[in-house]
Each structure stands twice: as structure tokens, then as C-alpha cells.
């Protein structure tokens, strides 16, 4: 340290003696910059932006009165900015020519890094440490294992289910957002549990083999800990289709635009021997809920089944209001891909009307409605819906799977086939985003697991087992 000017505090001391005591009692602020140089002061951070540089518009102005004169040539008019935005972590942006360094690493001009508690900020060159950042909003969160804690900054909760949670996270180096899904491993050894290791590994294999299909959520990495799996997935900022439908009524042309994307994604799954078995509004994610031309993607493959060609499934599972009648009929031993068509019919009905076709106060009554195919397309809302849309729903919600329309026939149905505009918009978007490769071959002997006797129900519903 002998080559540094006497005005510099050695790095061993970190903070200047006069500011070390200020770490406690922060008051109504979200962070504070503690100086490591005697010539600088501490700064409370309570606004959305803080700038350092030589210009008079900066919050921390460096000049001959406030800084080391021999180092001013290395400082830009606006050197760095610290920003705090709603729903995002605090980050620092390098605005300089000579560099801003975070913990000794150069950020790069116009690039940003997430700012964390005890991070050291240097300016001009690596050794010129000026501030230590203290975060007064951070708390203890053991959601992520240590390996992921080092890589990601954890933010808010996105969703919670019976087997775990999904939280928003930001890559510390790129500031790019991700959704990290934590799936708790079943504590018991019962293979019928939906969070049994076999089920979790199957979902992971399916997601990893999606090869970044434009309309299916991408998984970038998987981390296994002692008690859980962690899936780092692409973040869809628009939330779920379910949330959007609660918020507003969608016009029919927008429903068709969304539905056609879902149709392409489900067709891709079926072509590769996968039945989703839990298609519903909660499992459709949007990139931007305020953009009528946004991308929508299918997620949550926890109940998916991998089939060999024309083989059949026999697991009774799914979300009750979206379940096909053949799943509920205990006299039918097997069912096929048509169960997804039924669920898509329920989804289409919901997207057009903001209500579900089959709804009842108890499970038993709900099942009776589904088995009989009792629903209505009458009323003021349905008066505004086209006859073609109603006809497609009728064909999708046929209680006889052998008579139910298939995916290819849905694509050829007048409601979609006669709307060239929607087809062109979706196909153009698909082609611009498509990076899929050949679907990997599954080892079916390892992947197909024993049928689950546990059924997934919505909130406040009861659970029913097979006899």
C-alpha cells in the first residue's frame, strides 16, 4: 500500500474511523455508502438514484475540495450511478471512461451489476476504493443453496404450491431476471407422492428436452440439494394467464392469438410423446400482460406423462375443473392425448368468458357436470362470441374422446384456419424465436414411473383417491 497517497485509508481498515459507528441505526433509508477515504463523507441512500462524478448535477461531487486532486483526471463527469427500482434489486451502472470497479472487478461502461451488502466500490482504477455499500433492507433468506446464492440475488415470491415455491432472482453479474423454482423432495418413500424424486426428475428431463421451444418455458440450469431441486427458468414478467383473466375481459381476437400459441406448444409436446395433463390458465405464462401481441408459454410439467407412440396413460391426476371425463370415469382404465384437448377446451371457454364451463360447490357435483358435459354458452357475454368459437369449444368438450376433435383438426377449424392474420402473426413470432433442435430420445424404461393415485385439486377442494 506504500504507493498510495497518505490521504488513502489502507484497505485493511475498510471504513474510516468516523463512519464505522454509523452502520447501526440507519433510519428511514434503504442503504448507505461508507467512505474508505478520509476526504469523503458517508451518504444515505433514500432516493431512486444516486450519482457520483465531477459535474455539479451529481449527488456526490468530486472536485479539488472534496477529492484527491491528483486522481481527478481519472474521474468522469458522471462516473457511476446507483439505482433502486420497484421490484428489482439495487444495482450500480458504470458511466465512466476509466472504469468503475466492484470488489476489484471492472464493471464496464454502460454495464450494470447488482449491488450487495459489503460490496466495495472503486473508481478510476482498481486500487482506488472509495465506498463500502451497506444494504439496510436485506434479511436472511435460506431459499437458495450456497452455490446459487453466490450467483443470484433473490427477490420477491412469484408463486407457491404444495411442493415448493417460485421466486424472482437476478443474476449478479448480468442483472438479468430469472424465476427459480424450488421443489421440496418428498420426505416419505412413497412413489405416489407428486414430489417424489422420480416425479421431479421426470419434470426436469422434460423441461431440459424442450430445447427452448418459443412457446414453452425454458429451464437454464438445475441444482440438486439434499432436500430440494432448484430449477432456474426464464422469467415471464407478465405473470399467469389466470391473473390476467381476473383483471380484464379479453377480446376474441386476442384470445385466438394466445390460444394459437398454446396449440402450437401442445402439438409439439404430443408429437414428442408427452401429455401435459395439467393445462390450465395458471400454467400459461405471459411475457407482457399489457401487450396484446405478447408471447405466452406453457409451464409446469409436474404431471406430464411420456408415452410411446400410441400407448395410453392410466394415472388419475390434474386440476378438477380442467379434468377430462375419461380421467374421472373409473370404468375406463386408460386415456390418451385427448385429455389435453379437453383441458384446452376448458381453457378456451375460460379465456372467452372469464368463467369456467364446469363449476360446483363440491367435488362430487363438479364431477357429475364434467362427465355429462353440462355447460352453457348462453348469456350476454356469449352473445358477443362468434359461432365458430362456440363450435370449436363444443367439439373440444365432447365427453367421448374418440369423437373429440384432435389438435390437427383444431388447427384446421374455421375459427383459426380462416384467420390468416393471427396465423401469420404467431408463425412470424415463432420463426423469429425458434431455436429448437431435434427432441432428445427419452429412455422410457427409466422415465415412465408408476401411476400416481394422488389427484391435484385447486384450493379449498378435497383430495380423492382411486378405489
pLDDT tens digit sequence for 329-370: 776 766 678 999 999 999 999 999 999 999 988 999 999 999
- Torsion sign (Cα): 85, 87, 88, 90: positive
pLDDT at 301: 66
CA distance 47 to 97: 25
Tens digits of residue pLDDT in 430-443: 998 876 544 443 33
What grid cell was written down for 375? 355447460
| Residue that wins the pLDDT comparison between 253 and 192 | 253
| Residue that wins the pLDDT comparison between 18 and 232 | 232
- 3 state DSSP class of 407: helix
CA distance 116 to 118: 6
End-to-end CA distance of the chain: 77
- Print burial letters for 236-256: b (CB count within 10 Å at least 16), e (below 16): bebbbbeebbeeeebebebbb
3-state per-residue secondary structure call for 344-388 = HHHHHHHHHHCCCCCCCCCHHHHHHHHHHCCCCCCCHHHHCCCHH
Residue 383: φ, ψ to 5° = -65, -25
| 8 A C-beta contact, residue 288 and residue 238 | yes
Q: Give the helix/strand (H/E) hosting 323.
A: none
Report the DSSP pairing between strands 305-306 and 274-275.
antiparallel
Is position 467 annotated as part of the catalytic site? Answer: no
CA distance 322 to 458: 10
| 8 A C-beta contact, residue 375 and residue 357 | yes
Mean pLDDT of 292-308: 70
pLDDT over 80 at 65, yes or no = yes
Q: Among 418, 342, 409, 353, which Cα is nearest to 385's?
A: 353
Strand spans (E) along 76-176 = 80-83, 91-94, 100-102, 105-106, 112-114, 120-123, 129-135, 152-161, 164-171
Per-chain mean pLDDT for the chain: 81
Among residues 56, 119, 193, 278, the one annotated as catalytic is: 278
CA distance 388 to 411: 13
Residue ranges of alpha helices (H) inside 103-186 are 146-149
**With bands split at pLDDT 50, 70 and 90, how would you rate the model's confidence at 452?**
very low
- 3 state DSSP class of 73: helix
Q: Among 196, 274, 281, which Cα is nearest to 245's?
A: 281
pLDDT at 449: 24
| 8 A C-beta contact, residue 98 and residue 74 | yes
pLDDT at 289: 92
Which percentage of the chain shows pLDDT scores above 70? 76
Q: Which of 230-244, 258-272, 317-331, 350-364 has the lowest mean pLDDT?
A: 317-331
Query: How far are the Cα atoms of 9, 206, 375 from residue 282, in angstroms, in the given order?
Result: 55, 19, 21
pLDDT at 131: 96
**With bands split at pLDDT 50, 70 and 90, how would you rate the model's confidence at 106?**
very high
CA distance 26 to 131: 17
Report the DSSP pairing between strands 284-286 and 49-53.
unpaired
Mean pLDDT of 179-202: 67
> Which range scores top for mean pLDDT: 17-21, 290-294, 449-453?
290-294
List the strands of the sheet with 49-53, edge to edge.
60-61, 49-53, 80-83, 91-94, 112-114
Q: Which of 87-101, 208-222, 287-301 has the lowest mean pLDDT?
A: 208-222
pLDDT over 70 at 233, yes or no = yes
**With bands split at pLDDT 50, 70 and 90, how would you rate the model's confidence at 464?**
very low
DSSP for residue 122: E
**With bands split at pLDDT 50, 70 and 90, how would you rate the model's confidence at 21?**
low
* Size of the chain in residues: 467
Tens digits of residue pLDDT in 366-392: 999 999 999 999 999 999 999 999 999
What's the pTM value of the predicted model, to 2 decimals? 0.72
Tens digits of residue pLDDT in 26-41: 567 899 999 999 999 9
CB count within 10 Å of CB 381 equals 13
Full set of structural domains in the chain with CATH: 11-135 (2.60.200.20), 146-233 (3.30.200.20), 238-447 (1.10.510.10)
pLDDT at 162: 62
pLDDT at 188: 52
Residue 246: φ, ψ to 5° = -70, -35
pLDDT at 330: 76
pLDDT at 274: 81
Amino acid at each position: 500500500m506504500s504507493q498510495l497517497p497518505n490521504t488513502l485509508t489502507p484497505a485493511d481498515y475498510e471504513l474510516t474511523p468516523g463512519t464505522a459507528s454509523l452502520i447501526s441505526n440507519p433510519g428511514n433509508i434503504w442503504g448507505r455508502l461508507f467512505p474508505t477515504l478520509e476526504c469523503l463523507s458517508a451518504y444515505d441512500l433514500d432516493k431512486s438514484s444516486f450519482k457520483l462524478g465531477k459535474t455539479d448535477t451529481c449527488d456526490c461531487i468530486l472536485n479539488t475540495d472534496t477529492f484527491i486532486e491528483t486522481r481527478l483526471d481519472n474521474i468522469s463527469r458522471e462516473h457511476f450511478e446507483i439505482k433502486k427500482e420497484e421490484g428489482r434489486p439495487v444495482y450500480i451502472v458504470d458511466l465512466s471512461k476509466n472504469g468503475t470497479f466492484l470488489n476489484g472487478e471492472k464493471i464496464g461502461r454502460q454495464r450494470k451489476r447488482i449491488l450487495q451488502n459489503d460490496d466495495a466500490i472503486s473508481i478510476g482504477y482498481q486500487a482506488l476504493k472509495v465506498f463500502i455499500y451497506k444494504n439496510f433492507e436485506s434479511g436472511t433468506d435460506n431459499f437458495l443453496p450456497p452455490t446459487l446464492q453466490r450467483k443470484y440475488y433473490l427477490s420477491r415470491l412469484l408463486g407457491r404450491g404444495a411442493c415448493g415455491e417460485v421466486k424472482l432472482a437476478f443474476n449478479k453479474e448480468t442483472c438479468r431476471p430469472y424465476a427459480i423454482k424450488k421443489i421440496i423432495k418428498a420426505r416419505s418413500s412413497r412413489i405416489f407422492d407428486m414430489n417424489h424424486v422420480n416425479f421431479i426428475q421426470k419434470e426436469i428431463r422434460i423441461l431440459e428436452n424442450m430445447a427452448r421451444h418459443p412457446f414453452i418455458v425454458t429451464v437454464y440450469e438445475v441444482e440438486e440439494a439434499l432436500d430440494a431441486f432448484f430449477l432456474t427458468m426464464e422469467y415471464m414478467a407478465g405473470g399467469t394467464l389466470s391473473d390476467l383473466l381476473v383483471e380484464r375481459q379479453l377480446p376474441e381476437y386476442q384470445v385466438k392469438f394466445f390460444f394459437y400459441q398454446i396449440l402450437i406448444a401442445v402439438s409439439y409436446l404430443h408429437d414428442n410423446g408427452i401429455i401435459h395433463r395439467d393445462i390450465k390458465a395458471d400454467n400459461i405464462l405471459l411475457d407482457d400482460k399489457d401487450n396484446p401481441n405478447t408471447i405466452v408459454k406453457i409451464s409446469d410439467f409436474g404431471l406430464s406423462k411420456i408415452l410411446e407412440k400410441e400407448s395410453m396413460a392410466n394415472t388419475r391426476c390434474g386440476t378438477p375443473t380442467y379434468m377430462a371425463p375419461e380421467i374421472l370415469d373409473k370404468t375406463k382404465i386408460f386415456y390418451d392425448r385427448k385429455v389435453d384437448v379437453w383441458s384446452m377446451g376448458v381453457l378456451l371457454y375460460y379465456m372467452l368468458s372469464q368463467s369456467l364451463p364446469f363449476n360446483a360447490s363440491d367435488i362430487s357435483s363438479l364431477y357429475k357436470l364434467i362427465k355429462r358435459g353440462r355447460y352453457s354458452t348462453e348469456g350476454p357475454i356469449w352473445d358477443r362470441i362468434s359461432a365458430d368459437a362456440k363450435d370449436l369449444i363444443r367439439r373440444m368438450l365432447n365427453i367421448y374422446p374418440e369423437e373429440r376433435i384432435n389438435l390437427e383438426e383444431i388447427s384446421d377449424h374455421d375459427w383459426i384456419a380462416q384467420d390468416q392474420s393471427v396465423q401469420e402473426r404467431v408463425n412470424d413470432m415463432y420463426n423469429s424465436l425458434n431455436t429448437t433442435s431435434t427432441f432428445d430420445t427419452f429412455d422410457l424404461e427409466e422415465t415412465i414411473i408408476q401411476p400416481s393415485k394422488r389427484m391435484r385439486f385447486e384450493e379449498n377442494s378435497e383430495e380423492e383417491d382411486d378405489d
